[in-house]
Amino acid sequence: MKKHIQITPEIAREYLRNNTRNRIVSQHHVDYLACEMEAGRFKDTGAPIAFRPDKTLGNGQHTLLAIVQSGVTVALPVWWDIPDEVIEAMDQGRKRSVAHQLQLADGLANSNLIAGAAKSIVSICCYNQNFAVGVGLTRGVITEFAAEIDAVIPAIRPFKPANRVWVVGALAFAMSADKGVLPFIEQLGSGHNIKSGDPAGAVRQWMTNGGIRLKGGYNAPKIEGLLNAAYNALQGDRLSCIKKGAQGIDYFLGKRRRYVSEIREHVKQQIAA
């Protein structure tokens, strides 16, 4: 039997009474789902709450736990009398990445780079920590920084070492805070008219020689180094080498204080949920 049901926290608790034959709960995933529900971003993907013929819960424990935790009522398909072999086949496929979901749902071109840049912006707003970022928040960040991302990607494309998600995210965030960094971004990408001591030249030298480990996405020194160079360019300062430190990132975060607070509050709620 299959029905679509408005699952209240009370119904979810009742269903969970029969959760006796399931995998170990990932509280991190429950926290994430609960946060998405509270923010109104949770979507029915068609994955059912499924019960075996013996009435035990076979699929959907994390979603039910998130409903209880969030206190939000969610409409979901509920299936009863599902054979064990069908239960076992659920959730066995490869999970779609956020980038893949945005590509499919929104037709987003270059989705890996843009979704990664959005995640990097969330990381920058949260002291360069790395958090799980779902489709809803990613879509919101992309919308907020659409103009800047669209400007940064073609500007840096000619310089291959700069074509990384953290570079796009950091520069898009900096540009949203102060449009004056655009000449620095264009010079970084093109390499044109670079003079001795120009911050863009220092960044190109650093990225070419790997002065700070460049692989990966979200560790603090490289983002600090890039944003320090952008800040130095704004100030008209000469720069011979890239250095870590909070001066640049603090400047750009301060310019977007309200938005940064919103992102931090969202992440705080997600962690506390």
Structure tokens at 141: 């960040």
- Confidence check: pLDDT of 202 > 90: yes
- The whole-number pLDDT of residue 270 equals 63
Are both 104 and 85 inside the same structural domain? no
Are both 146 and 37 inside the same structural domain? no
Q: Is residue 94 part of a domain?
A: no
- The whole-number pLDDT of residue 105 equals 62
- The whole-number pLDDT of residue 87 equals 76
State whether residue 20 is helix, strand or coil.
coil
Are both 35 and 137 inside the same structural domain? no
Are both 75 and 106 inside the same structural domain? no
- The whole-number pLDDT of residue 84 equals 78
Residues 6+ apart with CB under 8 A from 162: 156, 188, 189, 203, 207
**N-terminal to C-terminal alpha carbon distance within the chain:** 33
Mean pLDDT over 243-248 rounds to 90
Are both 105 and 205 inside the same structural domain? yes
- The whole-number pLDDT of residue 130 equals 75
- In terms of phi and psi (left: phi > 0; alpha: psi -120 to 50; beta: otherwise), the region of 81 is left
- Confidence check: pLDDT of 218 > 70: no
Helices (H), the chain: 9-16, 27-38, 61-70, 84-89, 98-106, 111-125, 135-144, 146-156, 165-177, 182-190, 199-209, 220-235, 247-255, 257-272
- The whole-number pLDDT of residue 91 equals 57
pLDDT tens-digit readout, 73-106: 999 999 999 987 787 667 554 455 677 667 756 6
Are both 123 and 228 inside the same structural domain? yes
Q: Is residue 159 part of a domain?
A: yes
- Confidence check: pLDDT of 215 > 60: no
Range among 81-90, 192-201, 261-270 rated most confident: 192-201
Are both 19 and 138 inside the same structural domain? no
Number of domains in the chain: 2
Are both 111 and 214 inside the same structural domain? yes
Tell me which residue range forms the domain holding 155: 99-272
Distances in Å between the Cα of 241 and the Cα atoms of 38, 205, 207, 208, 237 are 45, 8, 11, 12, 12
16 vs 33, higher pLDDT: 16
Helices 220-235 & 182-190, crossing angle to 10 degrees? 110
% of the chain at pLDDT higher than 70: 89
- In terms of phi and psi (left: phi > 0; alpha: psi -120 to 50; beta: otherwise), the region of 39 is alpha
- The whole-number pLDDT of residue 94 equals 45
Q: Which pLDDT band, with edges at 50, 70 and 90, does 217 fall under? A: very low
Mean pLDDT over 34-41 rounds to 86
Q: Which pLDDT band, with edges at 50, 70 and 90, does 214 fall under? A: very low
Instruction: Point out the domain boundary residue: 89, 111, 126.
Output: 89
Are both 49 and 129 inside the same structural domain? no
Question: Rounded to the nearest 5°, which phi and psi values hold at 79?
Answer: -115, 140
Average pLDDT of the residues of the chain: 87
- Confidence check: pLDDT of 222 > 70: yes
**Do the Cβ atoms of 151 and 188 come closer than 8 Å?**
no
